[in-house]
Structure 1
Amino acid sequence: MLPRVRAAVAQLVAGLGAGAGAEPPAEPGGGDGGSPVSPSFCRPAFLQLSPEELRRADDHTGRAVQSPRDGRRRLPWSTGYAEVINAGKSQHNEDQACCEVVFVERKPSPRGRPPSREGGEELDGGRKGFYFHYWALFDGHAGSGAAVMASKRLHLHICEQLRDLVEILQDPSPPPICLPPEERAGLAEPSRVPHAEDDREVPNNAVPRFHLEKAVSHESLVIGAIENAFKHMDEEIERERASQRLSGGCCALAAVYLMGKFYVANAGDSRAIIIRNGEIIPMSREFTPETERQRLQFLAFLRPELLGKEFTHLEFPRRIQPKELGKKMLYRDQNMNGWAYKKIEEDDLKFPLIYGEGKKARVMATIGVTRGLGDHDLKVFSSNIHIKPFLSCFPEVRVYDLTQYEHCPDDVLVLGTDGLWDVTNDKEVAGVVMEVLTGYEPNDPCRYTMVAQELVVRSRGVLKERGWRLANDKLGSGDDISVFVIPLGGPGNYT
């Protein structure tokens, strides 16, 4: 095995469980040698932390829980939020959060053409469009730059992608398959007189062999807009990474409430669940080297040059030793869920594309998540092999229709970074939610913040001689933890 791959393995073994990606070497003048920090590093603006509170928030020893304070601007829908810094694995809290109400203004109609569809909501000033509510968590790794930028920009990309859809989404008829070109729509050519035959249908009595159109729902248009917004956000991070010193990358989890539906988009290992009448409804799944093994292997199979002649796309139960050449060993490729035996050849001695199990699994011995934003400069340790081709910026989007159910004030959507889920499962989260909410009046707007704080505290644990410990004395989360608790029921929530 090549020396640099051995070095990568040694680094991997030494740092297992230390986060999603490998920490890059300190840049010149970078201070203490930790993760490089973007000049724009900050905590979420809605926290409105004082200088003293910012110092407490940055203390790895005390790990004080931060939430929006009473008397300050309340988050939309009385949303609860809490966060805490890690136990020292990076210099700063690399989680970021955003909560916004965004107005999507309809694009101006092309010159000379009146609006073709009715039903747009006209607001003060004659603007037509609609609002969407937005919550997002960004779990940064190997630096905070990508997470900070995404927290400030992703909702704007979603807004821009929705602008073409304002009239379409407000019209109950099926979406048009084609939109007219913006620069020529509605402009007739003065020298051209239309002929009757231009509109003539060609007679055809034959039964069509194939259906030529697909039915496209309004819901799928919103999903496509969110997916494209993630792509444009990733492209912006790539363009700005040099001038803005956008270090590392980030997992992204966003919830968009639009026209009675929640769209939960996840790219990474953060997660979301809905708790409705005590029932747990998963609204995302983690994207890790194990969950996306076949996608990664298939890409490596199609483009073996991405492996740099140092990795193999095949998976084996353990590392193969040179003395095992010619023997048969269990393996699986991109087409297999089960296992089979193959004769070990020289090429199989290369390091596996995916190595390790569970939270310790890594792509090319480097990164433990397979979707997210950024990471454009990420390479295998001491090599020129880029890992970005294997990392997808596209989220999986799940939809929840609020209009299909009667929700009570105790029904919530919980968004959390992996610092929460690493030590707390869905059932435990639901238990905390129900336990805390029963102690407050249903109309108390602070109750959801108290839930978020309790979730963070119980996942962080209490500092003891052997580190941060949970109530059962198991190791607490040493990662950054960020949590949104969004109420789904109650008066005035859907405005």
Structure 2
Amino acid sequence: MLLRVRAAVAQLAAGLGAGAQPPAEPRGGGAGAGAGRGSPPAAFCRPAFLQLTPDELRRADDHTGRAVQSPRDGRRRLPWSTGYAEVINAGKSQHNEDQACCEVVFVEQRPSPRGWLSSREGSGELDGGRKGLYFHYWALFDGHAGSGAAVMASERLHLHICEQLRDLVEILQDPSPPPICLPHNTETDSADPNHMSYAEDHGEVLNDAVPQIHLEKAVSHESLVIGAIENAFKHMDDQIERERASQHLAGGCCALAAIYLMGKFYVANAGDSRAIIIRNGEIIPMSREFTPETERQRLQFLALLRPELLGKEFTHLEFPRRIQPKELGKKMLYRDQNMNGWAYKKIEEDDLKFPLIFGEGKKARMMATIGVTRGLGDHDLKVFSSNIHIKPFLSCFPEVRVYDLTQYEHCPDDVLVLGTDGLWDVTNDKEVAGVVMEVLTSYEPNDPCRYTMVAQELVVRSRGVLKERGWRLANDKLGSGDDISVFVIPLGGPGNYT
């Protein structure tokens, strides 16, 4: 096992993860481009909204120059005057494995049971009689072991979200509480599902003297949207699994998406990309990283319940360091799935196995293989030189945080920043906020280019400047050698500033 671990660590240090070579990538460009079913693999692709020429695409793929890419003036402007910038890595992988998408999506109401949903108030008709609503969408996908999963997710995730929202169009526009159950037959389901008691639902007849107990939870419209986003991530992951062979979808990706719907931002994160809101100088975290350290207890608990997933190679317990055979019988610090603190236990034979989670910080790895614990794809990922699958420990479900724009007065300098880990590895929240305020104050509030300039400056400062000793920040520390992608979204929306 030790030889496997050493080999895996060597591959990770080379930026290829788990011994996988960068696979051929499917043709496509994100941002609503076609899926390219059955299309031949292409060497390199970038988000379609960048509209790069062939020469610009070659420069974007240059690891030496690492030119920053942004939507050019005179080309398609992103919704809400959103700023975007990206740069390729310094040789960590063959191509830029980040992908991005920015869309305005119309959700058309799905045909509903006759005489029920169609009769509810506030349906709202759009686009020549079609009933529906719009949402704005921004997303970053940080690929690993190839960009295939990231490309497909950039092309499809917003469509899965749209599909999940179709049943909710009229429910979300109706101020009354959401129905607990949607009828499928109006003749047999004539009762209002919001007022159906437990007894009625189970065909029981209670004595009038016995009070009927209503076992119903209050469900908000907001939680319906969160559920729709969570299900969309699951369907996206399922689609990657189904099509991974035909679409060359090796590897996986972290996914960070921001959805603006009916006055609220829903920020969904699965992985180690992050988002923050900067409002009047205040920093509001809108996500957290999902790594072997932050999800240690979930991973340990699963390993305890399903020890067969460890392949007799790993232990679910955590120790401060590797245990030596000569230490059998001694007591050492440990912690399990129930513990936040540490305690001592007597070392037994099983404790000599490699720990499920090893290392700390950015070097922490699960099963000596992967440094993130949520995301899309990775269905074929195994521990190096073994048949131990890692996917059972990886969750595709995001954590969704909500920000209500209607609760605050926002100025032109209030923004939501989305960034892949290439940004956050070398730049903290306070430094990002400082760059945002510094750049925005140098432009007029109604200048639509100001947010792109912020995104470019964040990427440039995180990348650093190429010197004899590599890419260096202003303080001479190492700059980010990873792919970097950044969205800067003004919180006032389109046309709200004068």
Query: Using a 3 Å threshold, how does the CA distance of structure 1 residues 69 and 211 change in structure 2: closer, same or farther?
Result: same
Partners of 1:440 and 1:281 lie apart in 2 by 24
Query: Using a 3 Å threshold, how does the CA distance of structure 1 residues 21 and 478 change in structure 2: closer, same or farther?
Result: farther
Corresponding residue number in structure 2 for 1:202: 205
Query: Using a 3 Å threshold, how does the CA distance of structure 1 residues 21 and 272 change in structure 2: closer, same or farther?
Result: farther
Q: Could you give the per-residue CA deviations for residues 63-113 of structure 1, whole angstroms, max 9, x where no partner exists?
A: 000000001111000000000000011111000000000000001123576
Indicate if the aligned counterparts of 2:197 and 2:212 stay in contact, CA closer than 8 A.
no
Higher mean C-alpha displacement, 110-119 vs 79-88: 110-119
Offset at residue 238 of structure 1 (A): 0.1
Query: Using a 3 Å threshold, how does the CA distance of structure 1 residues 370 and 162 change in structure 2: closer, same or farther?
Result: same
Offset at residue 118 of structure 1 (A): 1.8
Partners of 1:337 and 1:435 lie apart in 2 by 40
Indicate if the aligned counterparts of 1:141 and 1:250 stay in contact, CA closer than 8 A.
yes
Query: Using a 3 Å threshold, how does the CA distance of structure 1 residues 351 and 133 change in structure 2: closer, same or farther?
Result: same
Indicate if the aligned counterparts of 2:417 and 2:487 stay in contact, CA closer than 8 A.
yes
Query: Using a 3 Å threshold, how does the CA distance of structure 1 residues 40 and 9 change in structure 2: closer, same or farther?
Result: closer
Question: Secondary structure of 1:298's match?
Answer: helix
Partners of 1:122 and 1:469 lie apart in 2 by 54
Question: Secondary structure of 2:128's match?
Answer: helix
Indicate if the aligned counterparts of 2:15 and 2:92 stay in contact, CA closer than 8 A.
no
Offset at residue 125 of structure 1 (A): 2.2
Q: Could you give the per-residue CA deviations for residues 173-206 of structure 1, whole angstroms, max 9, x where no partner exists?
A: 0000000127988899999999999999956566
Indicate if the aligned counterparts of 2:18 and 2:384 stay in contact, CA closer than 8 A.
no
Query: Using a 3 Å threshold, how does the CA distance of structure 1 residues 429 and 111 change in structure 2: closer, same or farther?
Result: same
Corresponding residue number in structure 2 for 1:23: 21
Partners of 2:190 and 2:208 lie apart in 1 by 35
Partners of 2:397 and 2:283 lie apart in 1 by 25
Indicate if the aligned counterparts of 2:181 and 2:193 stay in contact, CA closer than 8 A.
no
How many residue pairs match? The answer is 491
TM-score (norm 1): 0.91
Offset at residue 4 of structure 1 (A): 3.1
Indicate if the aligned counterparts of 2:25 and 2:248 stay in contact, CA closer than 8 A.
no
Higher mean C-alpha displacement, 107-116 vs 279-288: 107-116
Offset at residue 489 of structure 1 (A): 2.2
Indicate if the aligned counterparts of 2:414 and 2:490 stay in contact, CA closer than 8 A.
yes
Query: Using a 3 Å threshold, how does the CA distance of structure 1 residues 20 and 477 change in structure 2: closer, same or farther?
Result: farther
Offset at residue 295 of structure 1 (A): 0.3
Partners of 1:93 and 1:12 lie apart in 2 by 17
Indicate if the aligned counterparts of 2:198 and 2:214 stay in contact, CA closer than 8 A.
no
Corresponding residue number in structure 2 for 1:360: 363
- Identical positions, percent: 91
Query: Using a 3 Å threshold, how does the CA distance of structure 1 residues 425 and 412 change in structure 2: closer, same or farther?
Result: same
TM-score (norm 2): 0.90
Partners of 1:293 and 1:192 lie apart in 2 by 42
Indicate if the aligned counterparts of 1:24 and 1:35 stay in contact, CA closer than 8 A.
no
Partners of 2:361 and 2:400 lie apart in 1 by 23
Query: Using a 3 Å threshold, how does the CA distance of structure 1 residues 250 and 323 change in structure 2: closer, same or farther?
Result: same
Partners of 1:267 and 1:455 lie apart in 2 by 22
Indicate if the aligned counterparts of 1:412 and 1:488 stay in contact, CA closer than 8 A.
yes
Higher mean C-alpha displacement, 174-183 vs 321-330: 174-183
Cα-Cα RMSD: 4.9
Which structure 2 segments of 5+ residues have no match?
Answer: 27-31
Query: Using a 3 Å threshold, how does the CA distance of structure 1 residues 221 and 191 change in structure 2: closer, same or farther?
Result: closer
Query: Using a 3 Å threshold, how does the CA distance of structure 1 residues 493 and 147 change in structure 2: closer, same or farther?
Result: farther
Higher mean C-alpha displacement, 101-110 vs 249-258: 101-110
Q: Could you give the per-residue CA deviations for residues 212-232 of structure 1, whole angstroms, max 9, x where no partner exists?
A: 110000000000000000000
Partners of 1:31 and 1:103 lie apart in 2 by 17
Question: Secondary structure of 1:74's match?
Answer: coil
Higher mean C-alpha displacement, 113-122 vs 89-98: 113-122
Query: Using a 3 Å threshold, how does the CA distance of structure 1 residues 120 and 71 change in structure 2: closer, same or farther?
Result: same
Offset at residue 14 of structure 1 (A): 6.9
Partners of 2:266 and 2:425 lie apart in 1 by 24
Indicate if the aligned counterparts of 1:21 and 1:141 stay in contact, CA closer than 8 A.
no
Query: Using a 3 Å threshold, how does the CA distance of structure 1 residues 135 and 197 change in structure 2: closer, same or farther?
Result: closer
Corresponding residue number in structure 2 for 1:13: 13
Higher mean C-alpha displacement, 21-30 vs 51-60: 21-30
Query: Using a 3 Å threshold, how does the CA distance of structure 1 residues 201 and 235 change in structure 2: closer, same or farther?
Result: closer
